Amino acid sequence: MKRRRTEQIKIGNVKIGGNAPISVQSMTKTDTRHINKTVAQIVRLQNAGCEIIRVAVKDSISARAVKKIKPRICIPLVADIHFDYKLALESIAAGCDAIRLNPGNIKRKEHIREVIKACRTNKIPIRIGLNSGSAGTHTAGGLCRIAHNYVKFFEKQGFYDIIVSLKASDVLTTIEAYRKMAGACEYPFHLGITAAGSSGMGTVKSAVGIGTLLAEGIGDTIRVSLTEKPEQEVLLAKQILQSLGLRTFYHDIISCPTCGRCQVDLVKIVGEFKNKLSTIHYPLSTKQVKIALMGCEVNGPGEAKDADIGVAFGKRTGVIFKKGRAIKRIKAEDSAKELIDCILRLH
């Protein structure tokens, strides 16, 4: 897949656009004024693989909190600004790494001009972040028109350190908006489906919307928006990227859905295997291993042979394959441990 050509910007030490890897973002769900709680959540997100974090700045206390939060975290911090441009100025003074401005509620040119001036002085970028709920339009054309006018104003000020997002809660509207905007500029895009919902339908909407655009080469950084713990957002974002071969975060586990031919408790076996695998810590730079756990003789041997490590089950037993070659017959109850041993020997 060929990625859309964009300029490259930096948020802190994270490059966005150009040929940089597509980065994973999230947003804290704590009150930013509660510094310890906010830092604790950011640290959990760092450990989960989040690469950029955004915090809500709803008042001056929140803006000042940025200064105390920043030294205690290890990833770039973006200040999320709505309604009051002065909060952007305060957040910049407090040391944030980027500003998000909402064109739906920060509209006065003299105010935008002041934020641009401060960002230029401090050498930090601005995300022009549209959401259908606050933009006053729920059409792709409307979102693009607002974004385009905002971008043109920035360009008239000689400011090009820009990221653009055009998020709607409707998947098809979001896809259409990004497609339209992709042909109108070369700024990097921040992808997401806004207010996607909770883990069920929210997961589906995010995966379909973000995944469709990424598969078309559109998108440079992503944030999954779920009514869930933010760690779940990061997990899903990583899974979307890995499913398209854009990033590698985990070993690739494939397993069959099971049917009447399956004669082992494959659901239990896969669960045990994943639990054991999660306790193994090795660098993400380690080569990804493809692992297959298959329940019967129809697709099982073929998938197991195609994987780096695989097991194809029959009646209460299975055969482990390594790089296409059968190496061992095992009992179903021992399979999780046997597979882990094989993987450890690969490393």
Q: Report residue 199's pLDDT band, with 50, 70 and 90 as the boundaries.
A: confident
Percent of the chain with pLDDT over 70: 98
Strands 52-56 and 77-81: parallel
How many CA atoms, within 13 angstroms, populate the side-chain half-sphere of residue 199? 9
Q: What would be the CATH architecture of the domain defined by 252-346?
A: 2-Layer Sandwich (3.30)
145: left (phi over 0), alpha (psi -120 to 50) or beta: alpha
Q: pLDDT tens digits, residue range 304-332? A: 999 999 999 998 899 999 999 999 999 99
Strands 309-313 and 317-322: antiparallel
Q: C-alpha angle 82/84/90, rounded to 5°?
A: 100
> What gap in Å lies between CA 46 and CA 69, rounded to an integer?
14
How many CA atoms, within 13 angstroms, populate the side-chain half-sphere of residue 190? 30
What phi and psi values does residue 163 have, to the nearest 5 degrees?
-120, 145
- CATH superfamily, region 9-243: Dihydropteroate synthase-like (3.20.20.20)
Q: Report residue 45's pLDDT band, with 50, 70 and 90 as the boundaries.
A: very high
Mean pLDDT value of segment 165-182:
97
Residue 220 CA: distances (Å) to CA of 6, 216, 334? 9, 12, 43
| pLDDT of 98 above 70 | yes
Q: Report residue 343's pLDDT band, with 50, 70 and 90 as the boundaries.
A: confident
Residue ranges in the chain assigned as alpha helix (H): 35-48, 60-69, 85-94, 109-122, 132-135, 140-156, 171-182, 199-215, 230-243, 266-278, 300-306, 335-346
Closest CA to 125 of 76, 193, 56: 76
Mean pLDDT value of segment 5-17:
97
Q: Report residue 37's pLDDT band, with 50, 70 and 90 as the boundaries.
A: very high
Let me know if the fold of 9-243 is the same as that of 252-346: no
**How high is the pLDDT of residue 259?**
94
Residue with token string 């905007």: 181
Mean pLDDT value of segment 30-47:
98
Residue ranges of domains in the chain = 9-243, 252-346
| pLDDT of 68 above 90 | yes
Mean pLDDT value of segment 23-41:
98
Closest CA to 100 of 41, 148, 65, 150: 150
> What gap in Å lies between CA 304 and CA 312, rounded to an integer?
6
**How high is the pLDDT of residue 179?**
98
**How high is the pLDDT of residue 347?**
67
Please state, rounded to an integer, the average pLDDT across all residues of the chain. Answer: 94
Mean pLDDT value of segment 167-177:
97
Q: pLDDT tens digits, residue range 216-269? A: 999 999 999 999 999 999 999 999 999 999 998 888 899 999 999 999 999 999
Mean pLDDT value of segment 16-27:
97
pTM of the model: 0.92
